[in-house]
């Protein structure tokens, strides 16, 4: 018994102390919302996380109840009296039985923290709440209190925070690597030009890529197609390049107060660019800059999602699609674009305007769209739950009979692809920008990378084969150019010019050698030291210049000046003849090769 008591005491000694959650930091609106919950349970029916992990503590209603219990245990008048040390154990026991008071321990607080972070902050509970409680902002505010009191976030989610603070992105990659995708895409022929830098172009539209599109190679089609669209439409845009930082959404969703610093840095940067509009293809970045930045500092530009920007051009007639896209697709509404900002119309305006495209809606779409589970830190903290949520959405998409699942958020693209891989589904995940680019360009630059497209989509006449032929021709041209450089011969020279140039180089070399030989001979002359300057006589001029060797090729100046020594001149004649013969053989080979090519 004594050993058991020692073990119990040791365990209690190691238990971390219970720290008060600063509920006094909540504003009146949040306190009213906590009290406004009617406990109806409507949120339970719609919560996508509870649908996959059916624990009572995950229901939004239960989170409110548990937080109020903790707050009452730590901040009520009764708790202050009992915790003051003046009340004895007997009084505490009596009050506990009569009033139902019980001090909340660390284990229960940890359980509440776990349930608070096992949430994608999708906002579905807010849509169906009869009391219209702003649950998303409430959960984010409670997370801020949890972080301030030292309880959160969860360990796997802390890695995201540390990476954003250290590298300005959640991918633990240097800022310089943010533009690597563009250089690689240009090398692969996916884009024709590198994105324009806003500092140089002073464009009126700033394209904010976001971290996922810039760093995740599996989501590069979002950035690639967006650039192709803007270049095709000749939009006066620019990008920040390696100067771009994380929007700070990760820190805000986790409850980290450092998000305000990052928000302020980005706001100052954007405001000083002189832009009129900021567009982003990432729904998370878009929602953060549009709705959350103004709480820190005002912005002097318009904020639009890329689909909203393009949908506006469709409405005004500036954007017209000419090439049909024969695909059957279904659309997934991102939570941060749809429920958060009511951006349901833009994507559908674009898809309706693309000729040949057939859209089949899922039963749960628009404000009732089922979350993929990639946001709110859920994927980092609970990847298995996120996978199940994605699979649930994929099965729903498959039931429509569509060949492709389309969205307009890199995070959703990434999260839904997890479900496609797990189920080994035949669905092709696409960003809406790929449909726009395909209709504008007449082909899909990523077509070879999509396995189902080859079977399900009508083949364009000569499309992929022409592009393959062009790539082979470019490779052959580069190889030929490299060989020419190795031989130090200019590409496709004229035969006469090449021979003359070669002769000119050899003649100049011979002249230098002859001059050195003359100087050596002069120094070795036997009477050079005995003859005085006064007795020295000028050398007699030759009666006639030795004949210049005639070379039929032009230009004549390439032959060089005459040489005095007839013996050396004979050597030069031999060298000239050899060079001439070599040039003739080279010309003959080139003619034979050209004739063979013409026959082929």
Q: Alpha helices, DSSP H only, in 443-552?
A: 453-456, 463-487, 495-523
- Give residue 271's pLDDT: 97
In a domain, 309, yes or no: yes
Largest CA distance in the chain: 140
463: its two tokens: 């499309």
One domain, residues 125 and 263: no
Distance CA 209, CA 586 (A): 55
- What share of the chain in percent tops pLDDT 90? 62
One domain, residues 195 and 327: yes
- Give residue 4's pLDDT: 41
Distance CA 586, CA 124 (A): 77
- Give residue 597's pLDDT: 74
List the domain range (segments joined by +) for residue 245. Answer: 157-461
Q: Is this prediction's pTM over 0.75?
A: no
- For residue 99, pLDDT over 60 is answered with yes
- Give residue 431's pLDDT: 97
One domain, residues 64 and 169: no
Comparing 256 with 101, which gets the higher pLDDT?
256
Which DSSP letter does residue 197 get?
B
One domain, residues 359 and 383: yes
Q: What is the dihedral of CA 376, 379, 384, 385, to 10 degrees?
A: 20
Comparing 533 with 175, which gets the higher pLDDT?
175
In a domain, 440, yes or no: yes
- Give residue 100's pLDDT: 63
Distance CA 425, CA 117 (A): 29
Identify the helix (H) or strand (E) that includes residue 346: helix 345-353
> Shortest CA distance to 108 belongs to which of 24, 6, 15, 33?
15
Helices 410-423, 383-398: axis angle to 10 degrees equals 80
Average pLDDT, the chain: 82
- Of 99, 134, 152, the one marking the end of a domain is 152
Instruction: Identify the CATH number of the domain in which residue 113 sits.
Output: 1.10.1060
One domain, residues 276 and 206: yes
One domain, residues 187 and 126: no
- Give residue 528's pLDDT: 44
Predicted confidence band at 18 (pLDDT cuts at 50, 70, 90)? confident
Least confident residue range of 8-17, 21-30, 69-78, 251-260: 8-17
- For residue 263, pLDDT over 90 is answered with yes
- Of 400, 429, 461, the one marking the end of a domain is 461
The answer to whether the CB of 275 falls within 8 A of the CB of 207 is: no
- Of 124, 152, 180, the one marking the end of a domain is 152
In a domain, 466, yes or no: no
In a domain, 549, yes or no: no
Strand partners, 207: 279
Per-residue model confidence as pLDDT tens digits over 547-564: 444 444 444 443 344 444
One domain, residues 179 and 218: yes
Q: How far apart are the first and last CA of the chain?
A: 98
- What share of the chain in percent tops pLDDT 70? 74
One domain, residues 238 and 376: yes
In a domain, 137, yes or no: yes
Comparing 10 with 313, which gets the higher pLDDT?
313
Q: Alpha helices, DSSP H only, in 424-462?
A: 432-441, 453-456
Distance CA 293, CA 298 (A): 7
One domain, residues 174 and 25: no
Predicted confidence band at 367 (pLDDT cuts at 50, 70, 90)? very high
278: its two tokens: 């900021």
In a domain, 597, yes or no: no
Query: Residues of 189-209 as b/e, b for ≥16 C-beta within 10 angstroms?
Result: ebbeeebbbbeeeebbbbbbb
One domain, residues 141 and 210: no
Distance CA 575, CA 195 (A): 56
- Give residue 91's pLDDT: 66
Q: How many distinct structural domains can be found in the chain?
A: 2
Tokens 């680019």, residue located: 437
Identify the helix (H) or strand (E) that includes residue 330: strand 327-331
- Give residue 512's pLDDT: 77
Which DSSP letter does residue 226 get?
H
The answer to whether the CB of 457 falls within 8 A of the CB of 327 is: yes
Helix/strand/coil for 524: coil
One domain, residues 93 and 242: no
- For residue 147, pLDDT over 80 is answered with yes
In a domain, 514, yes or no: no
In a domain, 92, yes or no: yes
One domain, residues 90 and 200: no
- For residue 229, pLDDT over 60 is answered with yes
Q: Tell whether omega for the bond before 153 is within 30 degrees of 0, i.e. cis.
A: yes
Tokens 């032929």, residue located: 469
Per-residue model confidence as pLDDT tens digits over 385-424: 999 999 999 999 999 999 999 999 999 999 999 999 999 9
- Give residue 576's pLDDT: 78
Per-residue model confidence as pLDDT tens digits over 344-358: 999 999 999 999 999
Per-residue model confidence as pLDDT tens digits over 433-456: 999 999 999 999 987 444 333 333
- Give residue 213's pLDDT: 95
- Give residue 264's pLDDT: 98
Distance CA 77, CA 68 (A): 14
Predicted confidence band at 103 (pLDDT cuts at 50, 70, 90)? confident
- For residue 318, pLDDT over 90 is answered with yes
Sheet holding 237-238, edge to edge: 237-238, 205-208, 277-280, 302-305
């Amino acid at each position: 018994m004594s050993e058991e008591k020692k073990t119990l005491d040791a365990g209690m000694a190691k238990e971390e102390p219970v720290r008060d959650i600063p509920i006094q930091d909540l504003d009146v609106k949040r306190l009213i919302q906590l009290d406004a919950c009617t406990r109806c349970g409507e949120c339970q029916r719609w919560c996508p996380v509870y649908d996959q992990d059916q624990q009572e503590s995950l229901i939004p209603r239960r989170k409110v109840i548990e937080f109020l219990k903790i707050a009452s245990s730590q901040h009520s008048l009764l708790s202050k009296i009992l915790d003051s040390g003046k009340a004895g154990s007997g009084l505490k026991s009596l009050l506990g039985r009569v009033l139902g008071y019980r001090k909340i321990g660390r284990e229960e607080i940890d359980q509440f923290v776990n349930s608070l972070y096992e949430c994608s902050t999708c906002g579905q509970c807010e849509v169906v709440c009869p009391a219209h409680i702003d649950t998303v902002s409430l959960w984010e505010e409670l997370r801020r209190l949890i972080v301030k009191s030292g309880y959160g976030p969860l360990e796997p989610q802390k890695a995201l925070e540390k990476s954003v603070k250290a590298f300005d992105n959640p991918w633990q990659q240097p800022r310089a690597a943010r533009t690597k995708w563009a250089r690689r895409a240009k090398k692969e022929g996916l884009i024709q030009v590198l994105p324009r830098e806003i500092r140089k172009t002073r464009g009126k539209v700033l394209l904010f890529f976001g971290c996922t599109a810039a760093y995740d190679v599996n989501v590069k089609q979002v950035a690639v197609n967006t650039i192709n669209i803007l270049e095709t439409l000749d939009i006066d845009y620019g990008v920040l390049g390696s100067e771009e930082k994380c929007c700070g959404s990760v820190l805000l969703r986790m409850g980290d107060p450092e998000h305000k610093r990052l928000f302020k840095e980005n706001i100052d940067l954007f405001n000083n660019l002189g832009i009129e509009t900021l567009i982003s293809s990432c729904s998370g970045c878009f929602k953060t800059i549009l709705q959350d930045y103004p709480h820190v500092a005002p912005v002097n530009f318009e904020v639009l999602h890329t689909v909203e920007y393009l949908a506006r051009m469709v409405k005004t007639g500036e954007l017209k699609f000419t090439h049909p896209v024969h695909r059957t697709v279904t659309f997934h509404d991102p939570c941060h674009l749809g429920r958060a900002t009511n951006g349901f119309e833009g994507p559908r305006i674009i898809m309706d305007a693309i000729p040949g495209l057939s859209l089949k809606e899922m039963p749960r779409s628009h404000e009732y769209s089922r979350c993929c589970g990639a946001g709110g830190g859920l994927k980092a903290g609970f990847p298995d739950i996120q996978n199940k949520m994605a699979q649930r959405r994929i099965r729903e998409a498959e039931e429509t009979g569509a060949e492709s699942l389309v969205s307009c958020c890199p995070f959703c693209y990434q999260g839904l692809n997890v479900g496609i891989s797990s189920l080994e589904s035949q669905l092709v995940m696409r960003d809406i920008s790929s449909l726009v680019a395909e209709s504008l360009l007449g082909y899909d630059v990523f077509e070879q990378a999509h396995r189902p497209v080859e079977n399900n989509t009508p083949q364009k006449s000569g499309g992929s084969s022409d592009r393959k032929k062009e790539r082979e021709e470019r490779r052959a041209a580069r190889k030929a150019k490299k060989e020419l450089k190795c031989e130090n011969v200019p590409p496709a020279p004229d035969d006469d010019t090449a021979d003359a140039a070669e002769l000119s180089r050899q003649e100049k070399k011979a002249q230098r050698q002859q001059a050195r030989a003359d100087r050596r001979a002069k120094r070795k002359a036997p009477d050079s030291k005995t003859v005085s300057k006064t007795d020295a006589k000028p050398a007699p001029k030759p009666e006639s210049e030795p004949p210049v060797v005639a070379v039929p090729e032009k230009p004549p100046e390439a032959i060089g000046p005459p040489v005095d020594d007839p013996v050396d001149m004979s050597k030069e004649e031999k060298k000239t003849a050899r060079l001439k013969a070599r040039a003739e053989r080279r010309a003959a080979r080139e003619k034979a090769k050209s004739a063979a090519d013409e026959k082929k």
